[in-house]
Amino acid sequence: MSSLALVERAAAGPADGLLVLHHGRGSDERDMLGLGNALDPERRLHIVAPRGPLTLPGWPGYHWYRVPRVGYPDPDTFRSAYAELAQLHEELWERTGLGPERTVLGGFSMGSVMSYALGLGPDRPAPAGLLVFSGFIPTVEGWSPSPESRSGLRAWIAHGTRDQVMSVEFARDARERLESAGLAVEYRESDGAHEINATDARAASEWLTRIPGRLATSASEAEAS
């Protein structure tokens, strides 16, 4: 059983899908639950926000991995968080009855990195979508993404051109890699810094009402069976 703490928000009725939001560096799960409420105000989705497993001396909040260099997570702590999240996702799918094909993985900053990792990992099932605010596809020894095996996955990416924490070049690289693999990507650049601005949040909310065409189809098929 996963040891990760989490918070949840149930859908208003039968859930169309599952939205798992991973927080950024030095934050916690409560920030992502607030974001989830803004992204899904009609409460169509079951929302889960887990807490990162690490606390680091001199840093507030929680973390998913150590950062020796931006873009290149520490392999040991990355693999540990990856395994914890993989187990948590499996447990959520079993408990809620909302499988990967009805799941969107998302988050901000370091949390987006983990969403990319779990969504593109060759040993993981493909989710319906990736919702990425200011993140990157990680480079880690012993792990590599497999976007070409993610047929049908859709991605939404937003990044600020003035981001001094994670360069916008990371987002441009991710878009190119995903599109080269034949995946549908909705991409936004703003004049912002390392942040989630209100305009992007509204656009992400609108995307969530469209991307789960796949989620809604899966839900209808389940009800008919």
Predicted confidence at residue 55, as pLDDT, reads 93
Asked if pLDDT for residue 143 goes beyond 80, the answer is: yes
With both helix axes pointing from N to C terminus, report the angle between 29-39 and 198-210 in degrees, rounded to the nearest 10. 70
Sign of the Cα torsion 118, 169, 36, 3 reads positive
Given this model, what pLDDT does residue 212 score?
A: 54
**How many CA atoms does the CB half-sphere of 107 hold within 13 Å?**
32
pLDDT interval class at 144 (50, 70, 90) = very high
Whether the pLDDT of residue 51 is over 90: the answer is yes
**What is the separation, in whole angstroms, between the first and last Cα of the chain?**
30
The pLDDT score that the predictor gives to residue 1 is 79
- Region 115-125 average pLDDT: 98
Q: What is the pLDDT of residues 161-173, one digit of tens each?
A: 999 999 999 999 9
CA 93/CA 217 separation, integer angstroms: 17
Confidence of residue 56 (pLDDT cuts 50, 70, 90): confident
How buried is residue 89: exposed, middle or buried, by Cβ count under 10 Å (0-12/13-18/19+)?
buried
- Which pLDDT tens digit goes with each residue over 99-117? 999 999 999 999 999 999 9
Task: Decide if pLDDT at 40 tops 90.
Answer: yes
Look at residue 224 in the predicted model and tell me its pLDDT. Answer: 44
> What pLDDT was estimated at residue 59?
87
pLDDT digits (tens, 9 = 90+) for 174-216: 999 999 999 999 999 999 999 999 999 999 999 999 875 455 5
SS (H, E, C) 103-154: EEEEEECHHHHHHHHHHHCCCCCCCCEEEEECCCCCCECCECCCHHHCCCCE
Cross-sheet strand order for the sheet of 17-22: 6-9, 45-50, 17-22, 103-108, 129-133, 154-160, 184-190
